[in-house]
Structure 1
Amino acid sequence: MNYLSTLPDKTALLDWQKERGNNDIAKVNAHIHTPYSFSAFKNIPQIFEMARQEEIKVLGINDFYTTDGYAEFIEQAHKNKVFPLFNIEFIALDLDDQKKGRKVNDPGNPGRTYLSGKGLLYPPKLDEPFVTQLNTVQAETLKQVEAMVEKVQHILINMGSDIKITMAEIFEKYAVDQVRERHIAKIIRVKVFEKYTSSSDRKAFLEKLYGGKASTADLSDNSLVENEIRGMLLKAGGSAFVEEDPKAFLSVPQVKAIILNAGGIPTYPLLADNAKGEYTDFENDKEKLLQELKVRGINSIEFIPNRNDLKRLKEYARFFWDNQILVTFGTEHNTPEMIPLTIETRGHVDLDHDLKELSYQGACVVAAHQYLMAKGQTGFVKSNGHRNGDRLQPFVKLGHAVVSRYLTFLNKH
């Protein structure tokens, strides 16, 4: 059962919060991946152990294509006294942007568009034809990964190596119900490091695996090694690369429809500036981006601040928030590198007070949406994707009451 459905009605809840008079800002991370897709974490309890150590009070699961982790996530959230946000992520393809060569929020692939859904219903629900659409995408993605594993194994055989890479072992040891490129890179790194113990032997093997290209990764950093394996072998131009079938992608409108049917808020993950201060074609002009998102019916954006400059991040985040677009922040944790759950900007620079407040307020909007949907009411967006009102503040106020009441309940039990 979703505890939010048992909370008092909106008026009583707001009255409770007003009488309580607590306006503390909770520490938030609204976007992390778990082992149900790919994650730096070994398991979900590890996530909440870190959350407890870092005093994170609002945490959002955000796996690719699946809600399978929700039940375990909410169980651990209750146990560790954390408010859970239920999210999901997709990779869509906009054929028009692809034809134009326009890069959206994937800097390497024109037309490819990441979209998240925020505040989905719990327990999860999805109707037809959306279930079939999602299953088809998952099946096509799995075919691509299986083909890459086969290519890797052929490369190893041709090298005369006795190292074996199989889908069965990846599922058994490293994946829950999805296998992605990063899983393949991880098992290769583990197998190579198990077989060869010296740095010189490891480098020599990797160079052979890369077709004569030298390994330059720091072998003491597993994350860097796995990223190098992925880049050398599995990405475009690599000897084990397999091009994705167009059937592995839904269109942006199809993804939006799935998110809305699942009770969520369609959300655009905004890359913003890279280390050189560059933006993608789609994001370079924030005024035009705002209008483009409105045309596409998207009223929510999110950032992964560890890839952004603090000043530039604040400029973009404040601009969209002031234009009544929902803004949230997260760490993603969708690489092998284990970083803190506490949100930082590029160079390990903390969010300033204004951005910490905005981060919490954004999470409150999602919390209010989850509460209203659990009550069978209209949340931040309607079922057709249109806004429910044109101001963020009423949802911030309600969401603050929801989070406060929820955490109060957990702290008493």
Structure 2
Amino acid sequence: MTDQPLVGLEADLYAEELKRRLDALDVLCKTVEPGKRRGTNLHIHTNESFSVFRSPTEAVWQAAREGVAVFGINDHYTCAGHDEFRRACEIARLPATFSMEAIAMDREAEADGRLTNDPGNPGRTYLCAKGVTRIPPDDSVPMQNLNRIRAALDRRHRDMSQKLREFLQETAGLPGPDWDEVVALTPRGNVTERHIAKAAAIWVRNFAISRGLELAEAVPRCFHVEPTGFDEVTLQNFIRSKLLKVGGPCYVEETPEAFLSIDEMRDLFLGFGAIPTYPVLANPVTDGERDIHALMDRLESINIFALEVIPARNTKERLAEVIEAARERSWPVFNGTEHNTPSPAPLLAELSLDPDFLPWFKSSAAVLLGHHKLVANGQPGFVGAEGKPSISDAGVRLDHFV
């Protein structure tokens, strides 16, 4: 097949119709020479939250091309992309995992001003539900809590969008993008700060064209700040950092309803039949993570027995420290790349393939795949209903899944 038809098929990977996306992937996968599958990536975002990927199917196509051995979706606050991701991975014959990410609040750390795995906000703690095996009913406590968080975030993003609209009215003489324009950038209305920034970037480009201005003139005029660049990625990141973050003119603080406690978030994840997992920031080193063994002691005391890393952000020395501590306790360490920005990047980071780490990442991926399979067959997964490992003997725990 020539390059031209391939380009057309690749555009179909983010077509509006799901069948068209999957049909395009089916044809494209037949053009890939069977090769060695190398590393694992169990944490990528899709357009169901925010991502460089315009559909879960498009993400799977990159994974098929790059030889990913096990691939995992991990969107913020939603499992809406799981079905498409599953179907796409089946077409690509790619073992798949299904997860979700959310932010909890460690109230003690917040009060002490201590950072955990959010380097800019004391107490805020990212957690992942690795290996979602069920969607709880709408009237269940886990789903009610998730919907409460979503509603609080939705109100915040509406307020931010309105502030942006009014800000641009003042600076440029025209109202900025409205809420409907922001929502139109999402498949199901799961708006994030990045969608607001993207809508603003689209708006300022259109403003420049309508006024006959160069973008270099329009951006400072509209935003009152000199940009660092004008490519799409740089512009979106610039808008987000200067307008939407703390201190920016369109910033809106989250309300308490946007956060559960860590215990509550753990229970929410268990309600989804998942493994509650702590993503280690690792670099930069925060006070809450400085002593990795003390961190794991605390996690164990609240029934969290799994870690995750984003190796592209870490030094080899720090990653080695995290993985060695996990080995000592027979904890899985899942790895990924996130891909939750407009920037394209490989799915297999250099340190993900490092021979010092790859075996543990593969074993951890086997744990997650095994968790999915066992629960689907009515057997206990990696953790039980309270979050404790279903196999109490740490010495044989991971071998059960590998």
Q: TM-score, structure 1 length as denominator?
A: 0.83
1:63 aligns with 2:65: no
Asked if structure 1 preserves the Cα contact closer than 8 Å seen for 2:270 and 2:387, the reply is yes
Match of 2:269 among 256, 259, 267: 259
1:273 aligns with 2:283: yes
Deviations 1:33-60 (A, max 9, x none): 1111111111122111101110113111
Match of 2:161 among 149, 153, 159: 149
**Could you tell me how far 1:209 is from its partner in structure 2?**
3.4
Asked if structure 1 preserves the Cα contact closer than 8 Å seen for 2:37 and 2:69, the reply is no
Q: Which amino acid in the other structure matches residue 218 of structure 1?
A: G
Asked if structure 1 preserves the Cα contact closer than 8 Å seen for 2:133 and 2:273, the reply is yes
Match for residue 33 of structure 2?
none
Match for residue 289 of structure 2?
283
1:383 aligns with 2:385: yes
Match for residue 366 of structure 2?
364
Match for residue 322 of structure 1?
328
Match for residue 332 of structure 1?
338
Match for residue 406 of structure 1?
none
SS in 1 for 2:321: helix
Query: 1:44-55 alignment to 2 at 5 Å?
Result: 44-55=56-67
Match for residue 40 of structure 2?
28
Greater RCO (Cα-Cα under 8 Å, separation 6 or more): 1
Match for residue 350 of structure 2?
344
Asked if structure 1 preserves the Cα contact closer than 8 Å seen for 2:370 and 2:401, the reply is yes
**Could you tell me how far 1:398 is from its partner in structure 2?**
4.9
Q: Distance between the aligned counterparts of 2:299 and 2:168, measured in 1?
A: 46
Q: Distance between the aligned counterparts of 1:25 and 1:382, measured in 2?
A: 32
Match for residue 223 of structure 1?
233
When the two chains are superposed, the root-mean-square deviation of aligned CA atoms in Å is 2.1
SS in 1 for 2:166: helix
Deviations 1:171-208 (A, max 9, x none): 22344330010001111112222333699832333223
Q: Distance between the aligned counterparts of 2:156 and 2:334, measured in 1?
A: 32
Query: 1:38-187 alignment to 2 at 5 Å?
Result: 38-122=50-134, 124-126=135-137, 128-162=140-174, 164-187=176-199
Asked if structure 2 preserves the Cα contact closer than 8 Å seen for 1:36 and 1:66, the reply is yes
Match for residue 411 of structure 1?
none
Asked if structure 2 preserves the Cα contact closer than 8 Å seen for 1:324 and 1:390, the reply is no
Q: Distance between the aligned counterparts of 1:226 and 1:103, measured in 2?
A: 26
Greater Cα offset, 287-296 or 167-176: 167-176
Asked if structure 1 preserves the Cα contact closer than 8 Å seen for 2:172 and 2:222, the reply is no
Q: Which amino acid in the other structure matches residue 341 of structure 1?
A: L
Match of 2:219 among 202, 206, 225: 206
Q: Distance between the aligned counterparts of 1:109 and 1:168, measured in 2?
A: 30
Asked if structure 2 preserves the Cα contact closer than 8 Å seen for 1:305 and 1:313, the reply is yes
**C-alpha spacing 1:25/1:289, structure 2 compared with 1 (3 Å):** farther
Match for residue 190 of structure 1?
202
Structure 1: state its 5+ residue gaps. 1-23, 401-413
Deviations 1:266-291 (A, max 9, x none): 000100023xxxx1110011121121
Q: TM-score, structure 2 length as denominator?
A: 0.86
Q: Which amino acid in the other structure matches residue 313 of structure 2?
A: R
**C-alpha spacing 1:42/1:25, structure 2 compared with 1 (3 Å):** closer
Deviations 1:314-363 (A, max 9, x none): 22222212221211100001111111111234xxxx63112111111110
Q: Which amino acid in the other structure matches residue 61 of structure 1?
A: I
Structure 2: state its 5+ residue gaps. 1-35
Match for residue 246 of structure 2?
236
